[in-house]
Structure 1
Amino acid sequence: MRLLINQISHAIQLCAICVKNLVLVTFISLFSLGASSSESETIVFGSNEKLVEQYVAQYVIENIYDSIGLKLQVVPLPPSRAKKANLKRRIDGEIARITPYGNDKPSLIRIEPSYYYLETAAYCLKDSTFEITKAEDLKGLSVASIRGVAHSDAATANLKKVYKLDSAMQLFQFLKFKRADVVIDTEINGRRLLQKDQYRSFIKRCGVFKRFELFNYINENRAEIRHKVSNEIRALQASGKLNELIKEAEKKALLLGPEHF
């Protein structure tokens, strides 16, 4: 009898330990779920890597999201990879793309209004006589541009001889060695490169011919932030603070070191 009582007592103790462990495991699981939920609140956007206007856009958009209490993480990617990641919903959207970019992508939401812009510019060798004031002036020329960038894709859409490269530095090297007549980049990105001795003595800007507004694009699964972000952009525009942010961001971006490009 005493042996039976001891066995029952031991069984009760084991049961109590099991219950205690179960409660502990449940608590840890719930805590982990809570942590995951908190982490999922961070919005992850892609940006086109190694471009000055994207660094400007990142600085501005981070300030916009921070001012309305939204956590934001920006991941620099090659432009074509950023597009693919966005369409496959591996990221929540992209920080800065032009209007035509979203026209054939119904799963993406363009947040109005725009909060920054880019200007499409043409660059040529210093002894060149080319004057590019419109996209039609590129007809008959060999042109190089960055792969996956919508504004330069638009400029070169109807041209026969187009080279696609991976970075602005590759473009300028390509031009320097006379592999193309003209290269297409943004005005501000080209301006940064022309600050360098290795390019300034060989290359010039031969025209700025198009302006595009830049918009924040989000996936449908983040639609709930649309109006909040839109309202903040409008408020910053009305107060003049958006222009102040842009000027500050451009100054910082033009001073970035070579490791960013």
Structure 2
Amino acid sequence: MLRHFLAALLVLTALSSAYAVPLTLKVNTSIKPPLSTVAEDGALDLVLAELFSRVGHELQLLRLPPARALVMVNRGESDVEVPRTAGMELTYTNLVMVSEPIIEYYFVGFTKGASLDQLFWDDLRGRSVAAIRGWKIYEEKVPTAAKTTWVSSPEQLFRMLDHAHAEVALHERYTGNGIIRQMGIQGVREASPPLALRPMYLYVHRRYASLAPRLAVALRTMKQDGTYARLMRSVLGDSFQCK
């Protein structure tokens, strides 16, 4: 009996020690500067590094196209996906959502020379529109009557707008404006109001399901103690809006 007890205790100790060892989690992202950079000094890069350190782990950022990233994390070839809208687990059933939003995205239309004082979803009907393949909100919301071209990168997206191959380029406010500046494109403006404002979330592969609530608590604490806003504003300045 004692021998069995000691054997069980050794197994539990080994499992506990293994769990305590810091993990390096593979985190998929397709976001661009100023939210994420190759040097990993973008606004969300800083937030993610702090967040994972608070739960005792490290991360390795993998820069992938949006559609491919979802397939990879759902297969378990990577561990975490960021950022995504709520409900991805309904289609990608191996994913578990972290309940606290990592950021709020302003999904907007960018125009160049088009006389669009206001822009709503229905205004896209009949217009030439460019959007990035794998951005689910645009795949779901852009009217079928729009003349939509799906591209694989934001550079292609804004090049189409710059060369008048699209009247409206659909992207996200922070990264969209950053890419436009980086590419040196002139005369582009953000149409108003935003087409959508959505909280965006982290997702973990189900093998790390127990990590999801810990990440949510740590992220919520970062917002409450001011760390989150400080890190975001260190890159985005006063343009960052924190609710």
- Opposite residue 89 of structure 1, the aligned amino acid is G
The whole-number CA distance in structure 2 between the counterparts of 1:137 and 1:155 is 12
Dislocated runs of 4+, deviation >4 Å? 36-40
Q: Does 1:112 align with 2:112?
A: no
Q: How does 1:62-211 map to 2 (within 5 A)?
A: 62-126=49-113, 128-156=114-142, 158-195=144-181, 198-200=184-186, 202-207=187-192, 208-211=194-197
Q: Does 1:241 align with 2:241?
A: no
- Opposite residue 90 of structure 1, the aligned amino acid is E
Once the two structures are TM-superposed, the CA of residue 120 in structure 1 deviates from its matched residue by 0.7
Deviates more, 1:141-150 or 1:157-166: 157-166
CA RMSD of aligned residues (A): 2.6
Once the two structures are TM-superposed, the CA of residue 129 in structure 1 deviates from its matched residue by 0.7
Once the two structures are TM-superposed, the CA of residue 52 in structure 1 deviates from its matched residue by 3.9
Once the two structures are TM-superposed, the CA of residue 247 in structure 1 deviates from its matched residue by 1.4
The whole-number CA distance in structure 1 between the counterparts of 2:62 and 2:183 is 30
- Opposite residue 106 of structure 1, the aligned amino acid is T
Structure 1 or 2, whichever has the larger Rg, is 1
The whole-number CA distance in structure 2 between the counterparts of 1:99 and 1:61 is 18
Runs of 5+ consecutive residues of structure 1 not aligned to the other structure = 1-35, 252-261
The whole-number CA distance in structure 2 between the counterparts of 1:40 and 1:71 is 7
Write 1 or 2 for the structure with the bigger share of helix: 1
Which TM-score applies when normalising by structure 1? Answer: 0.73
Once the two structures are TM-superposed, the CA of residue 42 in structure 1 deviates from its matched residue by 1.7
- Opposite residue 224 of structure 1, the aligned amino acid is S
Q: How does 1:214-225 map to 2 (within 5 A)?
A: 214-225=200-211
- Aligned in 2, Cα 1:224/1:197: closer, same or farther, shift over 3 Å? closer
- Opposite residue 186 of structure 1, the aligned amino acid is E
The whole-number CA distance in structure 2 between the counterparts of 1:117 and 1:132 is 21
Runs of 5+ consecutive residues of structure 2 not aligned to the other structure = 1-17, 37-41, 238-243
Given that 2:43 and 2:231 are in contact with CA atoms closer than 8 Å, whether structure 1 keeps it comes out as: no
Once the two structures are TM-superposed, the CA of residue 132 in structure 1 deviates from its matched residue by 4.0
Once the two structures are TM-superposed, the CA of residue 249 in structure 1 deviates from its matched residue by 4.1
Identity of counterpart residues, as a percentage? 18
CA deviation map 1:208-253 (0-9, x unaligned):
22111111100110112122111111212222222112212435xx
The SS at the match of 2:209 is helix
Once the two structures are TM-superposed, the CA of residue 66 in structure 1 deviates from its matched residue by 1.0
The whole-number CA distance in structure 1 between the counterparts of 2:142 and 2:78 is 28
Once the two structures are TM-superposed, the CA of residue 56 in structure 1 deviates from its matched residue by 3.0
The whole-number CA distance in structure 1 between the counterparts of 2:35 and 2:67 is 17
Deviates more, 1:157-166 or 1:234-243: 157-166
CA deviation map 1:130-163 (0-9, x unaligned):
2344222212211101111223323325344210
The whole-number CA distance in structure 2 between the counterparts of 1:40 and 1:145 is 38
